[in-house]
Amino acid sequence: MSAPTATQTPVTVLTGYLGAGKTTLLNRILSEQHGKKYAVIVNEFGEVGIDNDLIVDADEEVFEMNNGCICCTVRGDLIRIIEGLMRRKDRFEAILIETTGLADPAPVAQTFFVDDEVRSKTKLDAIVTVVDAKHLLGEIDQAHEAQEQLAFADFVVLNKTDLVSAEELVAVEARIRRINPTAMIKQSTRCDVPLDQVLGRGGFDLDRVLEIEPDFLDGDHDHEHDDHVTSFSLVTDRPLDPRKFLPWVEMITQRFGMDMLRMKGILAFDDDDDRFVVQAVHMLLEGGHQRAWKKNEPRVSRLVFIGRNLPKDIIEDGFMKCRVKPERIAALSA
Ligand SMILES: Nc1nc2c(ncn2[C@@H]2O[C@H](COP(=O)(O)OP(=O)(O)OP(=O)(O)O)[C@@H](O)[C@H]2O)c(=O)[nH]1
């Protein structure tokens, strides 16, 4: 463990299973007045990018990596983005990487050690893993990625404590400790952790990682994904009727919630100048207006689903039925 040298830019990797609160933490970091400028790299699962739109409008530059999972494209895109960033490093002081909920953090961390150019210019500061206190115990045995994310954590944000009892919290914390005996664990609601404890920790401990994974530095890192988890997206440029959409989204969240690991979307409602955001983690659904549509922004509705055995045809059919009738659009534009 050592501090970055003057020429090395610190990098914090934010990880955690689907819907745990990574974007919530990222937004907190970007919104807080800490006087630091960050370059942000986000990677998401699914072909229609949503995360970038859920990140607060900060001055920070956000680089999206949507064409695959960060842990699989580690040799390619991530290295290229970081090398590109390093050529203009007068613009920021630190880098934040938000991985997908399905990423294994090991190959991401490995990039900062095995690529010479990246290694000389950056310094992995910490792997910060956000945990959903409500869903972790139900998921962890099936989700290999969630175990890896905890095993590699330097700092665990045990989030969503508002959704569980004190006893459940003790059980979740005990489970985390079984996987990772040394990481600092901080409980939180909406990731309200002291950011000075999360950032600039100088906490990434290569020796500890080599104990878990002795071949960590040996080139290609084998990792597995849960092949049963798939994603699909629904897109329409016809406005949605909120009186149809809202009951429908509640219905599918209840009906398919067990298998629905994550759903998120940005919607254009008929006769509404504000964007509407919906998000679900299993059966817990949240929605609300976000901000006004910008002047030349296409009013397109996008929904992304990530889950096991989700019936795309049924969901797509229901979604399309929530659109306003074409006659109504013709009447509006007449
Ligand atoms: N009740 C409750 N909800 C929370 C808390 N933190 C985040 N959420 C909600 O949980 C959902 C997921 O939060 P995100 O921050 O988007 O999670 P994420 O890990 O970035 O999600 P993915 O990138 O899709 O894996 C959102 O609807 C949040 O509003 C919390 O402490 N309590």
Q: Classify domain 230-333 at the CATH class level.
A: alpha beta
Q: Which two tokens stand for residue 7?
A: 């020429």
DSSP reduced 3-state for 278? strand
Q: Which two tokens stand for residue 67?
A: 């064409």
The DSSP letter of residue 75 is I
What are the tens digits of pLDDT across the range 176-216?
999 999 999 999 999 999 998 899 888 788 888 888 888 77
- ipTM above 0.90 for this complex: yes
User: pTM of the prediction?
Assistant: 0.86
Q: Which two tokens stand for residue 324?
A: 């306003």
What are the tens digits of pLDDT across the range 226-235?
667 888 999 9
Q: List the chain domain ranges.
A: 9-212, 230-333
Distance 281 CA to ligand 1 centre (A): 8
Q: Strand pairing partners for 94?
A: 38
Q: Strand pairing partners for 281?
A: 284
Beta strands in the chain (DSSP E): 9-16, 38-43, 61-65, 94-98, 122-132, 155-159, 184-187, 229-236, 260-268, 274-281, 284-292, 301-308
Distance 156 CA to ligand 1 centre (A): 15
Distance 96 CA to ligand 1 centre (A): 18
Q: Classify domain 9-212 at the CATH class level.
A: alpha beta
